[in-house]
Amino acid sequence: MRVRGQPATATDRQPAEALLVAEGLDKRFGALQVLDAVTVSVPAGSAVGIVGPNGAGKTTLLDLLAGALRPDHGRVLLAGRDVSSLGAAGRCRLGIGRTHQIPRPFTGMTVFENVLVAAAMGGGLRGGAAQERALEALTMTGMLELANRRADTLGLLDRKRLELARALATGPSLLLLDEIAGGLTEPETHALVEHIQQLHARGLTIVWIEHVVHALLRVAQRLICLAGGRIIADGEPQTVMRDPAVIDAYLGSAA
């Protein structure tokens, strides 16, 4: 089973083909160079984790990929198409779904209504098709039985599941996750990770920024470490997390 309406993914493509390419992304905020010539290529069907200490530029990178921010230099390609000139809504329609660090559901609406809005506004669906997509997104995140609950009555894990369901309802081929595991207990983190593992197994391409490294390592096949706006390590997760440069970036250099 695959997310409805999504473009082709690893299941029917050459595995090495890049779904997402970011080329030479630069971003400044005033005098601060937040990202410095960051180039990343994400093969279709892969799960890539992005780690880095506070202030490394992770969320800025995600914002540039999602179209919430524009780079000063560089471009973003989705399935070979230059999407640099598109904003977040345009990229969403082309298949880039994202979750936010702080979920902000429509609190006066039910869970189902929240997801329906995402299917309609982000996924461009109407009527029965939007409802079907919303139900599917709720099923994939284990939220179906809470469909009629008001969003403001949900606990933290269910809010995160709802955030995931809203991103899925837009019909993404690429899912960008922004610190979705933050603040959960360990069993809750496991439950959330299971959903993400299943989504990945269904062929979704995932780029996941996360401070909860052990959660990330359960899904990611590859880790990229950012520090000071640059990529300082990129490779097999366990190797990256034991790379002295990565450890120094988090803990300070060994004296």
Partner 1 sequence: MTLLEVRDLDARHGLLQAVRGVSLSLERGDTLALVGANGAGKSTLLRTIAGAHPAAGGEILFDGRRINHLPAHRRVALGIGVVPEGRQLFLSLTVEENLLVAARPGEWTIDRVLEAFPLIAERRRSRAVNLSGGERQAVAIARALMANPSLLLLDEVSLGLAPVTVDDLYRSLRAVIAAGTTVLLVEQDLSRALGICQRVACMLEGRIVLEGRAGELTREQVTEAYFGLGRLEGAGRPEAAPGAGVAHQEASP
Q: Under the rule (CB under 8 A), what is the footprint of partner 1?
A: 53-54, 155-156, 159, 179, 182-186, 189, 197, 211-214, 217-221, 236-238, 241-242, 247, 250-255
- Least Å from the CB of residue 85 to partner 1: 33
- Least Å from the CB of residue 148 to partner 1: 20
- Residue-wise over 104-140: b if at least 16 C-beta within 10 A, else e? ebeeeebbbbbbbbbbbbbbebeeeebbebbbbbbeb
In this complex, which beta carbon is closest to partner 1, that of residue 11 or of residue 101? Answer: 101
In this complex, which beta carbon is closest to partner 1, that of residue 8 or of residue 213? Answer: 213
- Least Å from the CB of residue 63 to partner 1: 18
In this complex, which beta carbon is closest to partner 1, that of residue 131 or of residue 221? Answer: 221
In this complex, which beta carbon is closest to partner 1, that of residue 118 or of residue 184? Answer: 184
- Least Å from the CB of residue 176 to partner 1: 19
- Least Å from the CB of residue 19 to partner 1: 20
How far is Cα 136 from Cα 142, in angstroms, rounded to an integer? 10
In this complex, which beta carbon is closest to partner 1, that of residue 67 or of residue 142? Answer: 142
